Each structure stands twice: as C-alpha cells, then as structure tokens.
Structure 1
Amino acid sequence: MRWIYRIGIFFARLLLLLVGPFIPKVGHFSSGRKDLFQKIEEFKSKNSGTLAWFHVASLGEYEQARPVIAELKNVRPDQLIAVSFFSPSGYDHVIKKPQANVDFITYLPIDSKKQAEKFVDLLSPDIVFFVKYDLWHHHIMAVKSRKIPLFLFSAAFRSDQIYFKKDGFFRAILFQFDFIFTQNESTLDLLKSIDFQQASIAGDTRFDRVAETAKNFKEFPELAKWVGEKPTVVAGSVWQEDMDLLIPLINAKPGYRWIIAPHDLSPDPMNRWSKQLSPSSSRYSQWDSDISPDVIFIDNIGMLSSLYQFAKVAYVGGAFGKGLHNILEPMGFGIPVIFGKLEKTAKFPEAAESQRNGCGFEVSDTESLKLVFEKLERPDFYQQSAESAKNWVQKNIGAAEKIISKVEKIVSRA
C-alpha cells in the first residue's frame, strides 16, 4: 500500500502540472507553493528559538487551532508558531493580515517523501499539532522519525472512514500520534475499537473561539444605528439553495431587519436576490447610511462572526450544498440558529447536538422554515432557546486549556 500511495502522489503532482495552466483554481494551488522552501529558510534565518508547527486543512480547522495556539503562547510566551495550510482558500484568507500569536504561515507541500522530509528539516519544529483531519503519511512519518512530539486535536472521526475499516497503511498513520484529543465520545470509542489507547475527550475548541469572539466582537456603529430596536435576522454564508427558502420568509415578514452574508461575494447572485425581494435592499459596500433598506447584503470578508451581535435569530447556510458553515458562531452570542437539512449528519455532529440542546433547528423547505421561525417569535419559546444556546456554549468552554495542560505533561515526561 505504501508504494501505491507514493505512486498516487506522483501522478497527482503530474496532473496538477498538466492541468494547472487551464484550470485557474488548480493553477493557484500549485503556484501558491512556489518558493515554499525558500520562504521557510528566510523565516528561520531571522527567527531563532523553539517552534511549534500546527497543520490545518483550511479556514475552519484554523479557527479550531487558534484557541490552542493562544493557550500554548500563554504557557510558553517565547514559543514561535508556524501554521501550514493545505487549501488555498484558507491560506489566502489568513495571509492578508497579521494573525495573533502566529509567526509564520505557509502552504504544506504535496505529500511526497522527499518534500515532506525537506519541509520538516527546514522548519525544524520542536512540537507538532495536526487539527481534526488532513493526515498526510509522509509528513507525519518525517515528524515521527525525528522523534518530535506529535499530537492531533479536535479529532472527529466516522466509522465509515478508512482508518476503521481495516488494519494496515492508513490505520498506522493514527498510531504515529503521541496523543489524540477528540471532540466527542463517539470518536474516542472508534479509537478504542482499534486499540488506540492514548486518547481522551477534550471537546471542540471552536467553543473557546466563539466565546472569545462574542466577548471581543468588532463594533459597527452605522449598522447598530440601522438596526435600532427592530428584530434582526443574520443569515451567514448562504448559498442559492438557502436563499430559495429565505426569500419567501423575508417577503412575508415586514418589520424585520435582515443581514445577509453570502458565501459567494460576486455581485450577480446578490443582484438577482434583490430583485426577488419585496423589501428594499442594498449591498453593504454601496449602502448610504442615511438610507434605511430592510435588507443589507454583506459583500466583503471578515465581518460575519461579529455581525451576530445584532441577531435575534441566525440562519447558517451551506447544509444543502458544500457543507454547513459554523453554527457555533451565533450561539456564542446566545442566539438560536436555523440551518438546512443535512445529508451527511456525521460530518457535522454539532448540528445534531444543537438540536438535542434546543438551540438549533433543522429545516428542509419553505414551510418548515416558516414553522420554526414562527415558533421562535413566541417569547417563551425564544427565551428558552436563547438560554439553551448560552448554556451549551458555556459548558463546552475550556478545550484548549485541557489540551495544552495534557501536552505539557506528556512532553515533560519524554
């Protein structure tokens, strides 16, 4: 299997080179990794000291890493922090501005043995963390062969994943980790079923992140004035399928303010949706604050997590398409959340958990959305749901501290 994997990686690299000039996204994936090793050498030449390397797949996993990075910096103030991304979308987002507690941001090279070993040698980390998944064999083996402490946190596995179907090459990857911190009990049970014992439940580090965001949100005075005393719905990371449900609701509910943050920021969908709305609307970049439309489309990146401060109710998009966006962000503000019906519920365990806690509500069509929304308009039902959101977040805070506390004990014994 090891040779099959290496051959597969070889042909993947070849395919990237061949199709890159014709497919912009593929080309960007490859061009972003140009001079990768040179950039690491430049960083290392200017920065001495111990270094912790965190690998994330994309932006969502980076958000899970941030509380752990902050806690590690709290315990080890002089620790250098490097973060690697596999996905260009995650890398492109965070590289635009300095990131708190992060000293270096890089792409992960394609997982060939030669490149992985060069990457680890140049970066020379003293401790390594992988986040949730995106477990690359050669990079993990390069770390392990150099006897560098290796941890996985926010792990959320499913029984249909290859690690649990049969013993062998892929399962062996898990056994390279010194310790695995899981998000939930079902993942811990899966690890125990393959006799992996060095694991414990730490919880989802996103709870730490959303609680911190809710405490230190960005202020938007012009939006606060626009919202005033009117009940407001914030719809985050919505796709066409989400708007197909939301537009009839918006048209049927005068008296509300609506903040819509599309996943796709191109103007065409927003212009199309605006024409289907009965209430007046404006794109945020074109909004004259002296005018008071009922709907504002947010056409930039970086605002959404703080916009939930204005919400009475949140709708979080993506369930009908690429994947449910972060429902924990609005719940950090104690806001009940509505989201679409998921096909693969195991990928988003927080969705089912939010429903069990009475603060998350799944809808499948315009009628079910209307029924849930009208329930949340009842003061008693709303109050109970909002309290449930607050309580759920509160009882799950502290994962980052648990992780770093355990890591420090393990490393000190080594």
Structure 2
Amino acid sequence: MTGGVQEADRRGALPLLAWRAATTLAAPLLPLWLARRARRGKEDPARLRERCGEGAERPPGPLLWLHGASVGESQSALPLIEALAEARPALRFLVTTGTLTAARLLTDRLPGALAGRVQHRFAPLDVPAHVARFLDGWRPDAAVFIESEIWPNLLLAARARGIPMALINARISDRSARGWGRLPGVARRLFGAFDLAIAQTEADAERLRALGARTARAWGNLKFAARPLPAPEPALERLRAAIGARPVLLAASTHPGEEAQVAEAHARLRQDLPDLLTIIAPRHPERGPALARELEGFDPALRSAGALPGPETAIYLADTLGELGLLYRVAGAALIGGSLVPHGGQNPLEAARLGCPVLLGPHTGNFTAIADRMLEAGAALRVADAAALAEAAGGVLTDADRARSMTTAAARIAADAGALPERMAAAIGTLLPAPAPEGDGDAAAHGYKDA
C-alpha cells in the first residue's frame, strides 16, 4: 500500500513540473492577455501589476491572507473577517480576488471599522515568478482559500515557505473530484497541502478526504451566515415611491437565456395582474443595453440611464452593480438567476434574509444543499419554465399568507448558521502566531512575539 502511494506521488510530480514549465513559458505573453481583458473591462488597467505579484505593502504585525475568486466567495468572507477581527484585535488582513466586481463590492460592503485593517489586491496569476514575488512581498502568517481555488504553483510555493493554509467553505462536485482522481499524486500533493479543510457538506468532505485532505470535515455553508445585503435609504425611498403599490416580480442575477423566459412569464401574469412591474437585474450589468434591445417590445426602462419605473413601465432593467439589497427589499417574489438555465444558480439566501419569497429554476447545482433545504421547508418554490414561473409568482404575489409562510421558513434556515463565522475564526486562529501577552512591549502592540 505504501509503495503504491509513493509511486502515485512520484508520478504526480511530473504533471506539476509540466504545469510549472508551461506557466513559466507562457509568462511573456500574459501581459498581452491582461491588456486585452482590461480593454474588455475585465481588469483594472491601473492595477495590472498586481496580477504579476507586485504592489505589496505589508503592514506590521500578524497578517492573514484570504483569497476568494469572485463575488460570492469574497462576500462570504466578510462575517469571517469580522469574527477574526474581534477575536484578534492586532490582526491585519489581505484579501485577494480574481474579478473586478468582487473587488468593488468588497470595498463597498466592508464595515467602516475594518477599513484600516483590510487591504485588497488582485490575485497573482499562477506563474512561479509572480507567485514568488507576491509571497515574498506580503509574507502572510497564514492563508485561507475559500470554496474551490486550487492553483498548483501558488499552493506549493506557500507550502514550501511554511505558510499554514486552510481551505474553507469548500465544495467540490462529483465531476471535479473524478477529474482530480485521475491524477491521484497531484491531488494528494495539492489537497494535502492544507492544514485545515472545512467543507460545506459531508459529501464535499468525503470527496476532499479521498483526494488527500485527510482532516476535512463538514461544518456547513458560510454563505448561510452572511449579513443582509445593504441598501442606501435614500435610493430605497426613491424606488419605493416610484413603484407605489404595484406588485413586483424580481429576476435577480439573470444569465443569457433567462430574460426571455422572464418576459414571457411577465406577459402571462399581466393577464391577472395588469399593474405588475417586473424587474430584471442581469448578473453582468454591462448586458443592459443589449437586453433593452432584446426586450424592446416591452419598452424597458434602464436603471443605468438614471430611469425609475414609471406607471407605464412593464419591465425595469436594473443593469447596475451591487444593488440587489435594494431590489430584494421592493420585490414581492424573486426568481434566483442562473437556475432557469444550466448555470447552477446564485445564492437564494440573499433574498431570504430580506424577506423576499424565493423561486428557483431546475438548475441549482451551485447551491444544492441550500436549495434542497429551502424547498423541503417550504421556504422556496421550484419552477421549470416561463409558464411555471408565472403560476408560482402569481400565487405568491396574490396570497400574503403564503408569502409570509415562505419568508418565515427561509429566515429560520438563514439564521441556523449564525455562529459559523466564530467557529471558523477559532479554527483559523490556531494557524496564526499566538498573541503576545499584554504589556510585552512592541510585540504586544503587534499581537505577536518574534521567535
């Protein structure tokens, strides 16, 4: 048995060496790729050097690095950061993301009290030289990767430097696990690099253990514990005044192929709800103008153009960033986008926390545990297509008792994991240097002792 493991590990080294060589050879071409992404609005032109590992400004004292690739991961980290900040007053945080949207929302939603303790950078590309520059500049005391970010050069370089690492809120699909399983030596080296692995579900934990994360355990989904999405009161008052008493159906974070189905459902609903307002908030707001052309038969108003829904507005395109907290507060029912098409769905608990009844399409693989629990508890309704969406939305929008029952059940589910950030913070704290005793000179001021 031991010989087989050693042989698998030996074979696993070859793909990792090949990946290291390939990324090194590709490095001279990556600035062109980054420049192209910047022209398409997918990178910040002024911060491209961060993708090469530059721009380190390490603060004094203990530093925890957290990485979440996109919006969901980085936002789920906020309650964890708050719990860690309260438990470790001297701790500073570096948060890296891979998308512009995640960076903007992190800045917008970071509590003011933490602004001076949290720095953001875009994650370095997985090129050995970029990774080395990043790690040498920041020298984090520990690293936390959120959900499923597995970058070979980055993980192995951090492990070589002795940086303790955690994989939290981890999820891995059967398909991904099978893919990693074809390279058992590679999987063992990468997943085994984590000192701490906390999965969303027991099935995720089992798959992680099989791949090499021997201590993986299931504690639940950190997204259950996220704070309610914010909404500026003046903007909320203006939108409510513009809508008045009209019933509102929201399609939140929609993907291509869903908007036409929502528009069809709207047309069906208007037969019984002639004053219905349907709000469509595309997952990628830059699609707004194209959607306006696609739905021109409904003469949609665009929020990005400064428009508010008037009495005759049938469809309102909320093609703006970071306003779902506002939209959930005015909606009587919300279809969670990415679920009517095979994308896997967005987070339904964002609506649940704000008292908005949830409708889910058939594709909820990104949030299977959450979706199944909500459906079983009567906290959400499943819809298969435009006709089913119209029927379910009509029932919720015209039956206040039903809507109240759904939101009450959803609120209980959302509240169940309220202590999870503190539990995770305590586990992550074991990876950090022990706080120095009070009164221990400069070290106490920084929260750590020099070795």
- The residue number in structure 1 matching 2:63 is 51
2:94 aligns to what? 82
Residue by residue over 1:15-68, the C-alpha shift from the partner in whole angstroms, topping out at 9 and shown as x without a partner, is 53455666644994898432655421xx23xx3222111111122210121111
For structure 1, which segment, 67-76 or 195-204, has the greater mean C-alpha deviation from structure 2 after superposition? 195-204
CA shift, 1:163, in A, is: 3.5
Q: Does residue 6 of structure 1 match 2:20?
A: yes
Residue 120 (1) aligns with residue 132 (2): no
Does residue 383 in structure 1 map to residue 400 in structure 2?
A: no
Which shows bigger deviation, 114-123 or 354-363? 354-363
Counterparts of residues 388-399 of structure 1 (less than 5 Å): 388-399=409-420
Structure 2 CA distance for partners of 1:312 and 1:97, relative to 1, 3 Å: closer
Q: Paired residue for 1:242, among 258, 264, 268? A: 258
Provide the C-alpha distance between the structure 2 equivalents of 1:154 and 1:133, rounded to a whole number of angstroms: 8
The structural deviation recorded for 1:114 is 2.9
Shift of residue 330, structure 1, vs aligned partner:
0.3
**Structure 1 CA distance for aligned equivalents of residues 17 and 393 of structure 2:** 54
Single out whichever of 312-321 and 188-197 deviates more from structure 2.
Answer: 188-197
Pair 1:179 & 2:189 matched:
no
Deviates more, 1:19-28 or 1:352-361: 19-28
Q: Is the 8 A contact 1:83 1:106 kept in 2?
A: yes
- Paired residue type of 2:266: I
Structure-1 separation of matches of 2:419 and 2:135: 30
Q: Aligned equivalents of 2:109 and 2:421: distance in 1?
A: 24
Q: Aligned to 2:280, which of 235, 243, 260?
A: 260
Change (3 A) 1:55 1:315: same
Structure 2 gap segments, 5+ residues each: 1-14, 436-451
Deviation at 1:365, TM superposition (A): 2.0
**Contact between 1:56 and 1:84, CA under 8 Å: does it hold in 2?**
yes
Q: Which residue of 2 aligns with 1:317?
A: 337
Aligned to 1:198: 215
Give the 3-state SS of the residue equivalent to 1:84 in structure 2. strand
Structure 2 distance, partners of 1:329, 1:26, is 26
Structure 1, unpaired ranges of 5+:
none
Q: Which one of 411, 419, 424 corresponds to residue 403 of structure 1?
A: 424
Equivalent residue number for residue 232 of structure 2: 218
Separation (CA, whole Å) in 1 of partners of 2:347 and 2:417: 16
Residue 53 of structure 2 contacts residue 134 of structure 2 at CA under 8 Å; is this kept in 1? yes
TM-score between both structures, scaled by the size of structure 2:
0.79
Counterpart for residue 159 of structure 1:
174
Q: Distance in 2 between matches of 1:12 and 1:372?
A: 51
Contact kept? 1:29, 1:87, Cα under 8 Å: no
Q: Distance in 1 between matches of 2:34 and 2:310?
A: 47
- C-alpha distance in 2 between matches for 1:407 and 1:17: 35
Kindly indicate whether the alpha-carbon contact (under 8 Å) linking 1:180 and 1:199 is maintained by their aligned counterparts in 2: yes
Contact 2:24–2:128 (8 Å) recurs in 1: no
Listed as ranges, the matches of 1:347-362 within 5 Å are 348-362=368-382
**In structure 2, which of residues 347, 352, 355 is the aligned counterpart of residue 331 of structure 1?**
352
What do the CA deviations read for 1:158-217 (whole angstroms, capped 9, x no partner)? 2322334452113321111111111112112223445644232222111221xx225x54
Question: How far apart are 1:404 and its partner, in Å?
Answer: 0.6
C-alpha contact (below 8 Å) 1:67/1:400 kept by paired residues? yes
Aligned residue type for 2:206: D
Q: CA separation of 1:290/1:27 partners in 2, compared to 1, >3 Å: closer, same or farther?
A: closer
Give SS of 2:55's match: helix
Aligned to 1:104: 119
Q: Percent identity?
A: 20
Shift of residue 116, structure 1, vs aligned partner: 1.6
RMSD: 3.1
> 2:160 matched to which residue of 1?
145
* Letter matched to residue 239 of structure 1: H
Quick check: 1:13–1:110 contact (8 Å CA) kept in 2? no
SS across alignment from 1:168? helix
Give the 3-state SS of the residue equivalent to 2:203 in structure 1.
Answer: helix
Deviation at 1:313, TM superposition (A): 0.7
What one-letter code is carried by the residue in structure 2 that aligns with 1:384?
Answer: S
Cα pair 1:281 1:293 within 8 Å, conserved: yes
Change (3 A) 1:244 1:289: closer
Label 1:39 to 1:22 Cα distance change in 2 as closer, same or farther (>3 A): closer
Matches within 5 A, 1:294-313: 294-313=314-333
- Among 227, 231, 250, which residue is 2:243 paired with? 227
Q: How far has the Cα of 1:154 moved from its partner?
A: 0.7
How far apart, CA to CA, are the structure 2 residues paired with 1:287 and 1:86? 31
Residues 324 and 348 of structure 1 are in contact (CA less than 8 Å); yes or no, is this contact kept in structure 2? no
SS, match of residue 110 in structure 1: coil
Q: Which protein, 1 or 2, shows the higher relative CO under an 8 Å CA cutoff with sep ≥ 6?
A: 2
